[in-house]
Amino acid sequence: MDRDLPSSCEQSIRSPSENPAEDSLSPETLASLRSLVITPSTPDTAISSIFQTLTRSLQLSRDPLVLHHTLKLFSDLASHRPSLSSSVSELVRSHALLSSDSTRLAAESLDVLASIAERGGTPVDLDDRSFVSLCFGPSVSVRSWLLRNAERFRIGPHVLLTMFLGFTRDPYPYVRKTALDGLVGLSKPGVVEDLDMIQGCYCRAVELLLDTEDYVRSAAVRAVSAWGLMLVAFNLETKLYWSDNLFVKLCSMGRDMSMEVRVEAFDALGKIEIVSADILLQTLSKRVSGTTKGMGSFGQCPAAEVESSASSVAGVLVHGLEDEFYEVRKSTCHSLRTLTIISAEFSEKALNLLMDVLNDDSMYVRLQALETMLHMATYGLLKVQGTHMHMFLGSLMDGNMSIRSATRKILKLVKLPNIETFKLSVDGIIDNLERHPQDEADIFSVLFHIGRNHGKFGMSIINEVFKEMELASEGKLGFDTARVAALLILAISALLSQGQHACNIPPIIFSYAVTLLGRISVALTDIMNQDALLAYLSQCSRSTRFSAMEFNLREDKPRLPAVTIASSSHSSNEINGTVGSPFQQGEDVAANLQYQAMREPMEVASSHVGYHLEVQDEVIRSMNLIFAKVKDIWPLIQSGFTNEVLRVLRSFKEELATFTSGSLRSVGAVAFALQYLRVVKQLAKVWEHFLPARKLCSGMGELDIALGKLETRLRELKSRFTGLSLEQELQILELLLLTCTLRLSKVESYCQVASLKKLSMTASHVESILKLGSIEPSNFMSEVGKLSYLTRTSSFGAPCDPFLFKELLKYFSLEQFVVFGRIDHIKAELVVPDNDSENHLPFVPRLPVGIPCEITLHNICSENKLWVRMTMDDESTQFVFLDLDLFGSSDEVRKFTYVVPFYRTPCAFSFTLRICIGMECSFEDVPPVKRYGGPDRELTFLCQEKEVHLSMVGEH
């Protein structure tokens, strides 16, 4: 290798010249040295002599150009020869280039040091003084380089903030831009927590919105957005004020002449989660609204700025949507995703515009518009009207596959207002199928969903078309035509539709459908498997009327009350004779089964996470955000959009699931929130039964189960969490009151007395809490209080008029939960070691057996009464009291092994025991059923049931 060294370089390496003044390396030498450095096969000896040569050059040369190249070579050396990196670092450091008179060289040496540090060397600690003095040096490029790279040198944030703020006034626009970008970087929670400082940064950024240079303005928009959001998040009271302020500022940039600035502005608008309704609506109209002019008020804007604010907001989204550049249009469509959630009126008007956007010439924009619509559909905001259909269904004919697919995704979720639009949609989908047969699987799936969502419409279409088909084909259906296949899918789905019982689809259709089994089942893989489908089809083809009835009856049987898509698959499994999946406590099977269309909301929801001041609060904050949104879906529950509600709730749940890695404090809160979501979900399912339009069809059984489940969930919510405030406690109690009221308001309710008793008990509990704190009771609470007082004073036990209770329901509305303090989750883990279906525990029949359990208890205090419940296959149950005093003293986590005695071993070769830990609910004074030796009150279970396998001694 040595012989490859170019002679000149060889010379300069080999012979340290006698005359150091002549020792400066020529550019050619440096270039050849570099090639040696970056060639991996250069021997170490050559490298070390290069190192020495360079060292000499660094020490002796005064020529800045040579020094520059030398530094570059050192940086290469350090990156290609990690072994040398520490000596390079030392050399550069000791050579004190930092204090040399050339700021450029100083910056370059810093770069070398920093890049070595980033590869694991000693970190560069540039003191604030030298950083500042370098920044003020004459070289502009060094200044902007330093500002850009400040993070690498661990400069304190407050020095940085001052520097950035100062340099936003630099005469050089690139420095201003860099300074603004730096400010954006500092707008992180935990860096600046002083209101005035945040405000200062925000105002400075706002000033620069008027800069003459495009790129400075676009950096300024980013900075305004970042700091504005900090201000918004700073204080709940001023939240709306700052949010409006920020919104108006960003809107004023929506008409900038630079495309980049506009894109930034619209991107930033999409990050705003709250804004006054009149401001928001103004964005859709170029004319300043009459009320703004008349009232002289505009959101939270100061009176003096109303006119100018209104004119800068006016029509800005319309402008964005009809912008010349597709980048801007796309960004505007995207920002509509968050904005439509803020106001229903806005979302309705924005939808009209979005539908027009579907005529846009750019595919990206059309796709983004459709994605925004999908997002709206997920939140139940997509109110499609007849006038939209032409444009909307036109997208199904689009030449682009992703556009068609995005349109169909929306169709899966959309709620069509009438049969005309439904027919149009079905025709559109079938046209799509005929023109683009490659979409078949997806189209069938869409048809299935749309049919299931609009059972009645589907049914009427089928009957209409069926007659036509029969007439036209004289009894012979052309199965191969796409249209027929599509209609068959519709027929299947319509039958599965919720609340559709009087089914009169000719059974023969289902036998036709059997012939298309393969194609259909491919399309419906996410819903049911081929066997289930076949069984279902053959059942239906015998008699639809019967099977539909049976179908629904069976649906009540498994404890899956809501007719979700998952439960229907579950039922069809049963028809097929296969065993239904076991019902697991605390887990909703329906919730676990998801299908693709419903995965979308998660991504959407997670993009909502706002700004947070500290990591801890991040979780709490987002949780409160979710709680706020949960509150917002109450009208949906009330008006019976159960499926939508469930979908949204599921998305929240998925969002929550992403917070698992938080601190102890947030773990409890997350668990609490999850439980709360379960309660709301169950409430939504129960509420369905109380809708006026709902026919009384499913029988009381289903409702009772649903109510029971709601009660269980609430009980868990009430007793499994500690650290709740009085208000929170009240909110839970209110839900309990609601449950009792719901129970009492159904005529058929058979356990009225018990419910009444429970109601008055809870009401008095509420009263006692109200007395404790100065909390205003909600309307519902006070109304219930009055009624329960009445019932208590009147002849006790007399059946009450259910209508009185039904009246009460009007007063209820879901309050927003706010989590602030620490919430602890009471839970237990129970493990029976070395026991599974293969390894059994030995027992002797009729003699007690000890079951060794490893138990971990979280957040349980000694007041709690814990029981181990053991249930045999025949449902006979035995309770064993867990005396907490015996096991450690720590309240937070106790871990111990306890041998649980089981007395009534059966006379059998083997048996299975379901074992579980429960806690007595302290607040429920009504003993459910008095059991001998058992708990006095209702139990709340703290863990999943474990199966313990036992077999007779000598049998395994």
Partner 1 sequence: MKARQRGSQKERKFPSMAIECLVLGAGQQVGKSCVVVSMNGKRIMFDCGMDMAYHDHRRHPDFSRISESGDFDKALTCIVITHFHLDHIGALPYFTEVCGYRGPIYMTYPTKALAPSMLEDYRKVMVERRGEEEQFTSEHIVECMKKVIAVDVKQTVQVDKDLMIRAYYAGHVLGAAMFYTKVGDSAIVYTGDYNMTPDRHLGAAQIDRLQLDLLITESTYATTIRDSKYSREAEFLKAVHKCVLGGGKVLIPTFALGRAQELCILLEDYWERMNLKIPIYFSSGLTMQANMYYKMLISWTSQKVKETYSTRNAFDFKHVLNFDRSMISAPGPCVLFATPGWISGGFSLEVFKQWAPSEMNLITLPGYCAAGTIGHKLMSGKRTKIDLDKDTQLDVRCQIHQLSFSPHTDAKGIMDLVKFLSPKHVILVHGEKPKMATLKGRIYSELGIRCDDPANNETVCIPSTHHVEVKDERAAEGILVEEKSKRAKIVHQDELLLMLGEKKHDIRFAYCFPINTDNLEDTKSTDVSSSSNALSMSGRCSWLPMLYIKLSDELSGGNIQYFGEQIQVESFSVSLCLKDRCPYRIVDSPPNKCEAVFFCCTWSIADEKLAWKIISILENLDYGTC
Site residues (vs partner 1, CB under 8 A): 210-212, 217, 255-257, 285-287, 307-308, 311-312, 314-315, 318-319, 321-326, 353, 356-357, 359, 361-362
Kindly tell me the burial class for residue 890, based on how many C-beta atoms sit within 10 Å of its own C-beta (0-12, 13-18, 19 or more). Answer: exposed
Minimum CB distance to partner 1 smaller for 311 or for 405: 311
Question: In the bound complex, what is the minimum distance in angstroms from residue 356's beta carbon to partner 1?
Answer: 4
> Where does residue 393 fall: left (phi above 0), alpha (psi -120 to 50 degrees), or beta otherwise?
alpha
Do the Cβ atoms of 100 and 112 come closer than 8 Å?
no
Question: In the bound complex, what is the minimum distance in angstroms from residue 199's beta carbon to partner 1?
Answer: 21
Minimum CB distance to partner 1 smaller for 94 or for 212: 212
Question: CA angle, corner 721, sides to 716 and 724, nearest 5?
Answer: 125
Question: In the bound complex, what is the minimum distance in angstroms from residue 278's beta carbon to partner 1?
Answer: 18
Question: In the bound complex, what is the minimum distance in angstroms from residue 421's beta carbon to partner 1?
Answer: 19
- 889: Cβ–Cβ under 8 A, 6 or more apart, which residues? none
CA–CA distances in Å: residue 526 to residues 185, 375, 437, 444, 593: 44, 21, 20, 12, 9
Other C-beta atoms lying within 10 Å of the C-beta of residue 904? 12
Please choose, from the candidates 887, 925, 613, 888, the residue with its C-alpha nearest in 3D space to the C-alpha of residue 759. 925
Other C-beta atoms lying within 10 Å of the C-beta of residue 945? 18
* Helices and strands (H, E) in the chain, number of each type: 43, 11
Minimum CB distance to partner 1 smaller for 361 or for 838: 361
* Two structure tokens written together for 345: 């009126």
Measured N-to-C along each axis, helices 326-342 and 363-378 cross at an angle, to the nearest 10 degrees, of 10
Nearest-angstrom CA–CA distance, 321 and 269: 13
Max CA separation in the chain (angstroms):
119
Three-class SS state of 854: strand
Question: In the bound complex, what is the minimum distance in angstroms from residue 281's beta carbon to partner 1?
Answer: 14
Question: In the bound complex, what is the minimum distance in angstroms from residue 383's beta carbon to partner 1?
Answer: 19
CA–CA distances in Å: residue 311 to residues 282, 285, 289, 328: 9, 10, 10, 20
Do the Cβ atoms of 832 and 881 come closer than 8 Å?
no
Question: In the bound complex, what is the minimum distance in angstroms from residue 59's beta carbon to partner 1?
Answer: 40
Minimum CB distance to partner 1 smaller for 325 or for 879: 325
Question: In the bound complex, what is the minimum distance in angstroms from residue 180's beta carbon to partner 1?
Answer: 16
Question: In the bound complex, what is the minimum distance in angstroms from residue 48's beta carbon to partner 1?
Answer: 53
Nearest-angstrom CA–CA distance, 934 and 561: 30
Question: In the bound complex, what is the minimum distance in angstroms from residue 423's beta carbon to partner 1?
Answer: 21
Minimum CB distance to partner 1 smaller for 356 or for 526: 356
Minimum CB distance to partner 1 smaller for 266 or for 780: 266
Element (H, E) at 386: helix 386-394
Question: In the bound complex, what is the minimum distance in angstroms from residue 35's beta carbon to partner 1?
Answer: 42
Minimum CB distance to partner 1 smaller for 327 or for 945: 327
Minimum CB distance to partner 1 smaller for 142 or for 358: 358
Nearest-angstrom CA–CA distance, 140 and 136: 9
Please choose, from the candidates 693, 699, 654, the residue with its C-alpha nearest in 3D space to the C-alpha of residue 677. 654
Other C-beta atoms lying within 10 Å of the C-beta of residue 660? 11
Minimum CB distance to partner 1 smaller for 345 or for 955: 345
In this structure, which amino acid lies at residue 815? E
Express the helix, strand and coil content of the chain in percent, nearest 5 each.
Answer: 60, 5, 30
Question: In the bound complex, what is the minimum distance in angstroms from residue 312's beta carbon to partner 1?
Answer: 8
Minimum CB distance to partner 1 smaller for 325 or for 896: 325
Minimum CB distance to partner 1 smaller for 282 or for 712: 282
Minimum CB distance to partner 1 smaller for 254 or for 299: 254
